[in-house]
Amino acid sequence: MAFTALAAGVSGLQAFSEGVGVIADNITNVNTVGYKETRARFSTLVTETSSISSYSPGGVRAFAESLVSRQGLLKPSTSATDLAVDGAGFFVVKSAADAQTEGEFIFTRAGAFTQDSEGFLQNTAGLYLMGWPVDGAGDIPTNQNDLGELAPINISNLNGLAQSTTDVAVRANLQASTPVNATYTGVGDLADGTATADFETNVEVFDSLGKGHTMVISTAKTGTNSWAVEIFADNPAELDAAAHPDGLVMSGSLVFNENGTIDEGASTFNPSSSPTIFYAAGGESKAEDAAVAFDFGTDGEADGFTQFDSISTTISSSVNGAKFGNVTGVAVRNNGDVSALFDNGLTLTVFKLPVATFQNADGLTRRQGNAYSLSDLSGNFTLVKAGTGGGGKVAPNALELSTVDLANEFAELIKTQRAFSASTRIITTSDEILEELTRL
């Protein structure tokens, strides 16, 4: 019996030593961003016996329980790249900035990100933040659970970035009482100056090199509720002369209903019109040719060109594409959009942060740098957009504090220390019993 009691005492020393280690880890990480408290749990060890008249002590064992799914308090921050997950889920990070070959994908809640020497966002553990690249249409990859579709976040390499124009929308009114234009005889008369326009407005479009080109939208009334429209370059030399004589990009007609809205079926100039602009070679450079959709309104709606008997005027215009200039900063929205800020006041969304969710986040394997990896208990990950599919939102300008309760840890430390001391008394008492036995 003394020998089994001695073994039980030893198991207590071992278990409570591990318990003190767990508490020590919590206390030392009380200020670690995104740290999740670990608790020591104890379980009995039972020695099997066939006798009901005697007792055989077994002992105790310790195991650690990580409370990974517990939400920490969010602390405001002045840094735009300090991020937190408000709700369930994790940031996807990688141990190397090479998106294709090096490093391992792991997961973290530690969102204190800063730029390294090459402009990549990494946290204090040196883990690089990953996100979905956003294309020119604002879309992300369709296979969202493929980690290979992710790329390291870097906005510093966007300096001087340009995006060609693909969409132009114009709202304007053409005065209904305008007489038929006698100077207009056919296509090209407005572009070459043969006819005098009844109304003109300008829009600036951008090529793939970031250069702006002024396009003139010129109209002439040709009949009842009918207008000729021509779009041409203000400087024809900027376009390919063979494709665009006199700079003419597109021509057609706008026909209006009796209520002043566009009759799309009778018009040859409608929202589906997307001519290709062929840019001229200038010196040693030539911009990429681009198809530009000119939207003048919806059939039967007063949301584009209209014909009411008020003065012809431009109401508004919208053009995408731009020369973005130099990057001055970064902004992150709670839906995970990462936008670059440029010195000319423009912004461009270039990445979207995924949020990784798990069936059992508490079952994740702890990794160096306050990160986690998959285990059999956690189940596989699912990458979702922030705020959808059970994933939390991204909290910009905020950091998640450690979930450690320092007062509780000190109380647990005292209890565990007392239990350790009591286990030593078991050993010394068992030793005294064995000593007495050897004297018999």
What confidence tens digit (pLDDT) does each residue in 350-398 have?
999 999 999 999 999 999 999 999 999 999 999 999 999 999 999 999 9
Task: Compute the distance between CA of residue 249 and CA of residue 398 in angstroms, rounded to an integer.
Answer: 50
Kindly state the tokens that stand for 32.
């670690």
Q: Domain ranges for the chain, please list them.
A: 2-67+403-439, 74-158+351-400, 162-323
Cite the DSSP H helix spans in 216-358: none
Element spanning 340, H or E: strand 337-342
Phi, psi of 425 (to 5 degrees): -65, -35
State CA 317 to chain mean position distance: 29
Residue 115 or 49, more confident: 115
**Which pLDDT does position 99 carry in this prediction?**
52
What confidence tens digit (pLDDT) does each residue in 394-424 have?
999 999 999 999 999 999 999 999 988 988 8
Of 213, 187, 168, which Cα lies nearest the Cα of 304?
Answer: 168
What confidence tens digit (pLDDT) does each residue in 119-171 have?
899 999 999 999 999 987 778 998 888 998 999 998 887 766 778 899 999 99
What confidence tens digit (pLDDT) does each residue in 14-25 have?
888 899 999 999
What confidence tens digit (pLDDT) does each residue in 318-351 have?
998 887 778 888 999 999 999 988 877 778 889 9
Q: Which of 39-43, 76-80, 290-294 has the lowest mean pLDDT?
A: 39-43
Instruction: Quote the Cα angle for 167-168-174, to 5°.
Output: 155
CA–CA distances in Å: residue 366 to residues 107, 161, 280, 372, 378 = 10, 40, 59, 5, 11
CB burial of residue 54 (10 Å; 0-12, 13-18, 19+): exposed
What confidence tens digit (pLDDT) does each residue in 273-328 have?
789 999 998 777 899 999 999 999 999 999 999 999 999 999 999 998 887 778 88
Residue type, 74: L
- The sign of the torsion formed by the CA atoms of 6, 8, 11, 17 equals negative
Q: Domain 162-323 falls in which CATH fold?
A: Tick-borne Encephalitis virus Glycoprotein; domain 1 (2.60.98)
- The sign of the torsion formed by the CA atoms of 157, 159, 162, 167 equals positive
Kindly state the tokens that stand for 80.
């735009």
CA–CA distances in Å: residue 298 to residues 216, 270, 271, 288, 362 = 21, 8, 7, 29, 53
Sheet strands (E) in 234-320: 248-255, 276-277, 290-291, 293-295, 305-306, 313-319
CA–CA distances in Å: residue 212 to residues 315, 321, 342 = 22, 10, 17
437: three-class secondary structure by DSSP = helix
What confidence tens digit (pLDDT) does each residue in 226-242 have?
999 999 999 999 999 99
User: Which residues lie below 8 Å from residue 312, measured CB to CB, with a gap of 6+?
Assistant: 172, 173, 174, 175, 178, 198, 199
Of 276, 297, 295, 296, which Cα lies nearest the Cα of 287?
Answer: 276
